Structure 1
């Protein structure tokens, strides 16, 4: 059995370029009488239909995709986006988040892709976590709430408010928790197109002292921060 979601877009040509960069192949394409495009990557099949005058910012299109390894797929998508745009876009449409555990998904480390049609691809690992992730301290819990708001519900402004309040209020959090929270707050600033806030948060992050084990634990986060500096 094969189920193919049909998602709206303003231009199937834009979708073709975008999904080709993500490693998809076109399996069907029609311009008239109704624009339609079918794309496939492995076991993932997606269909797109063109709508005259469609505004991607108003799209409610969404689908859930489960894969064996979200990190591996995210790396492949990131490489493709860099080849197309010169970077991984974090603001506007299209954009992509990076894998993070989500409290509203039993701690699964998912990420989201918003394509040129404004459609959300919500990508999670196939297997549920054996045990729920630890709650961590108050700052970690605030970060969890912010991730749900921004990455799942599409409300980065409210997520930023939550993190700003927590970062100002919770000054005794472990260094690892503070770096994770600051890194995500910087990402939100980029998403909200607020370069001054992004620069201020990155400067604060630079002042957090980390020992070698912490740096090893935060390797992926610190690599993402390095890319943020070029956004």
Structure 2
């Protein structure tokens, strides 16, 4: 028996979400205006989403969420990111809508989150837990991602990363760079002093992270 479950998510106006999902590579498969606004989009392979119009919906405080398990989170992220850059001129990493980079989270495999213009969360996961690498900052990054990317508590994620940096003052530049990049992202999301962290990164050899830093700089200067 083949089973497919399709989530039905709210949006204040269906025109708020449709362009966003088209940018992610979905196509509209159905839409009606009356008697109730309703929209269906699909990327194929069972990745379907439905939306209903709810004029009183509060996107900033939305609790609606969908878990999507895929075999390769990085490949899907790359497709999503390319579409968003084309549609928005930059990668949206703060506010609504936004996307987080693929990261492992404590107790879970690699994944990333997408928050659409209506505040609905798509939690993309590989579904398989990965083994730890032994890096001195690994647990801090895992915990920070669980707090900030999974729970949406950026303030808690910032505290975890800042504490880890204080705890390891002897860390090498290459060990610190991923932590500083994530810290800058979370500070941008919360309106914190991200510029100081980016200035610190500018003094380091971040050539392997050029795309990530460019995304952060564009968002900060937007």
Corresponding position of 1:87? 90
1:175-214 alignment to 2 at 5 Å?
175-194=173-192, 197-208=193-204
Q: 2:39 and 2:82 mapped to 1: Cα distance? A: 23
Contact 1:28 1:38 (8 Å CA) reproduced: yes
1:223 to 187, 211, 222: 211
Q: In structure 1, the residue corresponding to 2:18 is in which secondary structure?
A: helix
1:41-56 alignment to 2 at 5 Å?
41-43=43-45, 44-56=47-59
1:32 to 14, 31, 34: 34
Contact 2:132 2:138 (8 Å CA) reproduced: no
Q: 1:101 and 1:153 mapped to 2: Cα distance? A: 14
Contact 1:102 1:147 (8 Å CA) reproduced: yes
TM-aligned CA deviation for residue 167 of structure 1:
1.7
Contact 2:92 2:99 (8 Å CA) reproduced: yes
Q: 1:145 and 1:73 mapped to 2: Cα distance? A: 23
TM-aligned CA deviation for residue 20 of structure 1:
0.5
Q: Which runs of 5+ in 2 are unaligned?
A: none
1:78-157 alignment to 2 at 5 Å?
78-105=81-108, 108-125=109-126, 128-129=128-129, 132-137=131-136, 139-157=137-155
RMSD: 1.7
Q: 1:58 and 1:228 mapped to 2: Cα distance? A: 24
TM-aligned CA deviation for residue 101 of structure 1:
1.3
* Cα shift readout 1:152-171 (whole Å, capped 9, x = no counterpart): 00001121122123223321
Q: TM-score, normalised by structure 1?
A: 0.87
1:49-64 alignment to 2 at 5 Å?
49-64=52-67
Poorly superposed stretches of 4+, deviation over 4 Å: none
Contact 2:24 2:84 (8 Å CA) reproduced: yes
Corresponding position of 2:17? 15
Q: In structure 1, the residue corresponding to 2:39 is in which secondary structure?
A: strand
Corresponding position of 1:76? 79
TM-aligned CA deviation for residue 68 of structure 1:
2.2
TM-aligned CA deviation for residue 209 of structure 1:
5.2
Q: 1:227 and 1:58 mapped to 2: Cα distance? A: 26
Corresponding position of 1:173? 171
Q: TM-score, normalised by structure 2?
A: 0.90
Contact 1:21 1:80 (8 Å CA) reproduced: yes
Contact 1:140 1:177 (8 Å CA) reproduced: no
Q: In structure 1, the residue corresponding to 2:111 is in which secondary structure?
A: strand
Q: 1:96 and 1:135 mapped to 2: Cα distance? A: 27
